[in-house]
A and B are shown apart, each in its own frame.
Chain A
Amino acid sequence: MIMVALSWLAAMILGAIPLWLSGHWISFLDACFESMSGFATTGLSLAQDLDHLSLTHNLWRHLTMFIGGQGIVVVALSFFVKGFSGAFRMYVGEARDERVLPNVINTARFIWGVSFTYLALGTAALWAVGMKNGMDPGRALFHGACIFMAAFDTGGFAPQSQNMLYYHNYGMEIITAVLMVLGAINFRLHYHLWTGNRRELLRNIEMRVLFISVMITFAVTAVGLKVGGSSYASGAPLLLRKGFYQLLSGHTGTGFMTVCAEQIGKEWSDLALVGMICAMALGGAVSSTTGGIKMLRIGIIAEAFVQDIKKVIFPSRAMVEQKFHHIKEVFLEDKTVRAALMVTLAYIILYGIGTLAGMLCGFGFIPSLFESTSAAANVGLSCGITSVGMPAALKVVYIFQMWAGRLEFIAVFTLAGFLLAAIKGK
């Protein structure tokens, strides 16, 4: 676990070196921020003059997402390790709760198999759309590969400074929306889909909770846009391309934007921002490339809530059993609920830490909460706080949030415990 936590910090430093050398990041801290944002698939960026960045550096930014999305440990297990006793612990330390296959190394290889297959298909689709949009074949291929890596790994970087707004094309938005959802699905579910068990998609608790959650948060955001008098609420096409796309991007933890960060901060009402914040905080499925609390935990907490209500309503002698479907039928146990609640609480505290730091730096409550949730849930949407000029302390807080949020705390707590024990001399 300690090795996992440290390897992510080492990856951040190593990944920042080429970025810093390019001269497009004004300090090494900014390059570290970008690197951690890439590896943790967040997508917040501090790049300067991104439109003149070399293709190599731009490709490196997107590759960090592709590596980090699958997991640095998964890379090691897939390609460099033959198998050792600590493999599963390391795998779990990287926020992968479930094995797809009985052997953890085969699981890691399956994850890469899925990713490379989608890489080929997704890049080809984006390449075709790019060329149809009037881009050169070479540049369309480069943009297609970069956008795929950022979409499937729910990262959110884009090769140009305007992010997805650069393309002015709904075809690009539709393909990236599909890729974002694929990235937000549990790799175990991918396995079942690949082996022909498509019914699992409809029965799985995570998919059901994801659907309900997207609908509720979108309704809140849409009402917020309408109440705030936003132009995006003037018709269904605009609401879908601006409101729903941003919402889906936030919920899946991607962070692609088809509006400017300043527009979100200044033109979206507080209610619309609250809808977005809730979507970002909840995240996608466990064992996917997304961040946030995750759908399985929300589903488990909801099931426990229903069970407790039933216990109150039914006679005291009645045995109330609650079960849910996640790949197989699972009976709800107290220890499962406890684990889900603990991680949820840890995320809420992490969101709070960043919000407090933002407010201490002079930003308002809602913008601070928005940016903090975006960093900690590895989303990457911004309402304008993340910029080169923000205080260095806030950059450090966001780096910590991205790291802790990506690793889902266990590895971070273990490292903290180890350091405390070392200080105490035990």
Chain B
Amino acid sequence: MRTLTVLFFLSAALAAPCRGACAGPEAVSSSALFSDPGLYDGRTISFEGEVIGDIMKRGRYAWINVNDGRSAIGVFTAAENVAGLSAGGYKRQGDIIRVSGEFHRACPGHGGDMDIHAGSVTVIIKSAAREESICPAAKKMAVLLAGAICLLLISMLYGRLRKKR
């Protein structure tokens, strides 16, 4: 998982020069949005992160959730902007995208959700397969603990049986 995080930030760093070339709205992280949402309320911002979970199309519009590695935020946009996007899950790292649009601290049109109404969605890095492995030390410890618990349960059952006899 640590490797994936390093890869994510490395990719973001490599994509940084492109960002400079196409000057747009201010890029903001989720930490900045959560720590002072009032500051960005109603302003056009740019937010980058991985599309996670589901692409939820609702008629002409769609909802996606974008996670920048720390927290996720809902993005409301036109359905055509999400066509072809891949969302991340256990087996896939989702598309890393940059969205630009108006940030709402408590969107009146969406029941007070904190969201971004994105006018544009740009894919920075395409989605890719991902794999997870079990840490060997954790595996050993788990076997030991499971064994200890089983022994405890067997001894308790044996004790009860002896008591009955």
Contacts and interface: CB of A to CB of B under 8 A. Distances in A.
A417 B140 CA distance: 35
A16 to B, nearest CB: 8
B56 A168 contact: yes
Interface in A104-158: 133-136, 139
A23 interface: yes
A232 B54 contact: no
Q: What's the interface size class on A, roughly? A: 35 or more
A48 B1 contact: yes
Nearest to B130: A52
Contacts of B89: 51-52
Interface string B37-54: 100000000000000111
B34 A262 contact: yes
A232 B153 contact: no
Interface in B109-164: 110-115, 130, 132-135, 138-139, 141-142, 145-146, 149, 152-153, 156
Interface string B7-43: 0000000000000000000000000001101000000
Contacts of B37: 263, 267
B103 interface: no
Nearest to B113: A168
A10 B142 contact: no
B120 to A, nearest CB: 20
A190 to B, nearest CB: 30
Contacts, number: 128
B67 interface: yes
A49 B58 contact: no
A51 B52 contact: yes
A53 B53 CA distance: 11
A134 B63 contact: yes
A3 B153 CA distance: 11
Nearest to B58: A134
B72 interface: yes
B65 interface: yes
Contacts of A54: 90, 132
B133 to A, nearest CB: 8
Interface string A1-31: 0010000001001100100111110001000
B101 interface: no
A52 B110 contact: no
Contacts of A139: 54
B78 interface: no
Given A20-B142, A51-B88, A134-B55, A263 B152 contact: no
A184 B141 CA distance: 38
Contacts of B152: 10
Looking at chain B's contact residues, is the secondary structure mostly helix, strand, loop, or mixed? Answer: mixed
B108 interface: yes
Contacts of A266: 34-35
Nearest to A132: B58
Contacts of A160: 52-53, 65, 72
Contacts of B112: 231-232, 237-238, 241-242, 258-259
Contacts of A237: 111-112
A235 B65 CA distance: 26
A3 B157 CA distance: 12
B54 A28 contact: no
A84 to B, nearest CB: 10
B127 to A, nearest CB: 12
B142 A260 contact: no
Interface string B75-96: 0100000000000111001000
Given A13-B149, A51-B89, A53-B90, A133 B106 contact: no
A234 interface: yes
Nearest to B104: A231
A13 B134 contact: no
B138 A170 contact: no
B54 A134 contact: yes
A165 interface: yes
A234 B108 CA distance: 9
Interface string A214-245: 00000000000000001110110110011000
B114 A238 contact: no
B148 to A, nearest CB: 9
B107 to A, nearest CB: 9
A161 B142 contact: no
Given A49-B1, A52-B89, A160-B53, 6 more contacts: A23-B133, A51-B53, A160-B52, A232-B106, A237-B111, A266-B35
Interface of B: 1, 34-35, 37, 52-58, 62-63, 65, 67, 71-72, 74, 76, 88-90, 93, 105-106, 108, 110-115, 130, 132-135, 138-139, 141-142, 145-146, 149, 152-153, 156
List 9 tightest A-B contacts by C-beta distance, closest first.
A134-B56, A231-B106, A241-B111, A238-B112, A51-B52, A262-B34, A134-B57, A242-B112, A54-B90
Interface of A: 3, 10, 13-14, 17, 20-24, 28, 48-49, 51-55, 133-136, 139, 160-162, 165-168, 170, 173, 230-232, 234-235, 237-238, 241-242, 258-260, 262-263, 266-267
24 contacts: A10-B152, A17-B146, A20-B138, A21-B139, A23-B133, A51-B53, A51-B89, A52-B89, A52-B93, A54-B90, A133-B58, A134-B57, A134-B58, A134-B62, A160-B52, A162-B65, A165-B114, A166-B53, A168-B76, A230-B106, A234-B106, A234-B108, A241-B112, A242-B106
